[in-house]
Structure 1
């Protein structure tokens, strides 16, 4: 039986929502092993002077729970 853990990560980008989500996954993969999938939960942006200056993607990252030395 596989048990999956899910964490939320917020990625940011000056380029796009997609890039912000990719940054979230990239950063999470630095400390989380064996990421199996993601779900983009939310997308927001910071606006200054009528222009988007920062895209933000909240991502749920799924990975298996490992027990002991598998």
Structure 2
């Protein structure tokens, strides 16, 4: 049986929520090995002068727990 750890990562983008989610996974994969899945938990945005200027996606990243031996 494999145990899985889940962490939350916030990605940002000036283009879209999808790009923000991709950014979160891309950055997490730099320090987390064997990412096996993600769940998009939240979409938010920064608004300035009536327009969205930054998209934000909160992503839960799942990966297997390594054996300590």
Structure 1 length-normalised TM = 0.96
Q: Which structure 1 residue ranges, 4+ long, deviate > 2 Å from structure 2?
A: none
Deviations 1:1-33 (A, max 9, x none): 100000000000000000000000000000000
CA distance in structure 1 between the aligned counterparts of 2:68 and 2:44, rounded to whole angstroms: 39
Gaps of 5+ in 1: none
Structure 2 length-normalised TM = 0.97
Q: What is the root-mean-square deviation of aligned Cα atoms in Å?
A: 0.8
CA distance in structure 1 between the aligned counterparts of 2:7 and 2:47, rounded to whole angstroms: 27
